[in-house]
Structure 1
Amino acid sequence: MDTVLVDPGEEIINLNGGLWSSTINSDNSKLYRWDYQAFTLDIINLDELVLERKVPFDKEGPNGVGSNVDWMSLPDDNQILLANFQGMGIFDLNGIKLSHHKLEKDKFEGDSLLEGEIFQRKSFPVAGGSVIYGLLVNPRMSPKVSLSKVDFEAKTIKKIKLPGEEELPDYVVNGNTENISTIITSEKTVQKFGDKLVLSSTGYTDLYILDLKNDSVYHVDYSPKLSAKAKKGGYPSEVNTVERLKEIIQVIHGEINFQPLIWDEKNKRFYRFSFETSPMENTDWPLFQPAVLKPLSRLFLSILDEDFNLLGESDLTVLGSVPNYAFAKDGKIWIFENIDDELGFVRMEIKY
């Protein structure tokens, strides 16, 4: 392991929000990160470890992004998709808007767009940005997500059936208290690796692989030896007090939690961290605090081949915290680290 810092030159890389809204280009040479306060796109050269430039964007007008950016992805290395829950725009790397997409009920053919249904972060453009793959969800009404293909040019929606989805060990806890109404369920993530999209969950090892060449989808899973392959489940479906809701969240987070996959192009394998947390003694922590911020109990690393077969595992609890915002470059895992308000990365080489 070693640690490296990014040189910002005469600029400042504002680490408020970490790498929450960021993406990496196809050869992992550049990191694109949204600065919420300056309303700029930071372009960071990962080969040279320097901030190349900050691209200013407009909130309003013909090149307007909107009031905020919730996620981003790359149609190619010369364009970027900047999105929020109201819509998404394709921009060049000088801040010029090339196209704009918005989901509107009754304006698409094919599968129905349900009331309030929007793209969950994050989504992936193909075909020059006119076709978007991602998870459609109504965050206020239902935990159900639909892996979907939306063609904004043809105005069609295709919701992709996931084989065996009903049999997965998922969970839903409805919290209806005097002050809040919320739904607690596993977090789903879609990632793009070459011509494949991978759907994963925090609650189990199972993966769904969508082959973009023919729109076919298949299901794979694996069984770790060092940890459970899924959460135990059996949680109450209804909770009526904040105190009880926090107790249930502690139990859920205390069981195994799976991180998204990390693709190592050099070694042609996937890495996947998973972890368990320890209960927090006080009860004044935020209700929606992510599991990765809870005290770490156990941390594991699984290694999979390019066909998603389990190759090996290791207990990495000694690291002391859950790697967050991690990616692979040059055969190493790069883990974001805020080092005295400077953008840094811990680089971990895996000997297998």
Structure 2
Amino acid sequence: MRIGERVSGDLSTASHGSHGASTAQNPSSESSDASILSRAKAAVLAYVALTKPRVIELLLVATIPVMLQADRGHVDIALIAFTLLGGWLGAGSANTLNMVADADIDQKMKRTARRPLARHAVSTRSALIFGIALWIGSFAVLWWAANLLSALLVTATIAFYVGVYTLILKRRTWQNVVWGGAAGCMPTLVGWAAVTGSISWQPIVLFLVIFFWTPPHTWALAMRYKEDYRAAGVPMLPVIATEERVTRQMLWYTWATVLSSLVLILGTSWIYAGVAVLAGAWFTSRVQRLYRETRAGAEVAPLKVFLQSNEYLAILFCGLAIDAVVNLPLITSYF
């Protein structure tokens, strides 16, 4: 055999060997790629979870109808979209920074043990940077798309939620959600300010609706998970009081919620008025029934009240949105 043939043969064999090795390595390469994609997906989902996306639903429920009411008969889709984006970034920032501050107690509660920081899916430093970045983004979007007032209101919301509610009230008093709930009311002011550049009596009334709605909504959930809160050392009212006292407080705040919602009738038509009366009666009757059941010593289902409270608020604000878009004559115009 000539040298040329031998070299050619060796090269061919080497080539086949190389091809075989490459083929053999492909499954490993594919597995590595899949692992990288899986880790990337898990990281993205962890950062999304930091923002508490389900909690942000309240932002959508409150902001859009308020903006429509602020400019009755008109729909500025671009402004609504950018305001929602800025509000979402702000709420995400507040929720992320809240998780940073609450990482220790989240580990002690079954309901929150799977949160990103509690299970170490994200480092505290990374979460802190992420929360600050979301705040900066929120401020920039709202200032650019709407006005400075709306951007400052979101900043105040973040500062209050993290600095006052999370760091001061939450672990010290059963009234934590009463006063801390003010942060969840701010979308009403932000939405109105984004449209008008100012604040009037109507967003303040809607602020009060959510303010009074928050305690019965939150305490209903806390009744279901009171052992979690007790283990974490958080003095929620259901942890430190009897069920009768808790449900009595819930009933008082529910009445305050409904009465506040009726005040807005002065700035709307019969559409909102009808929705506010019917939805208010429906919600009040459910909380009243819970109170009666606890007084009778019966087994209660507080989670149903929690769910119905969400439905009530959604119905009320959807009624307001429809009323604003249809723009029928105000009830006060008949007097």
What's the TM-score, normalizing by structure 1? 0.31
More helix by share: 2
Q: Larger radius of gyration, structure 1 or 2?
A: 2
What's the TM-score, normalizing by structure 2? 0.32
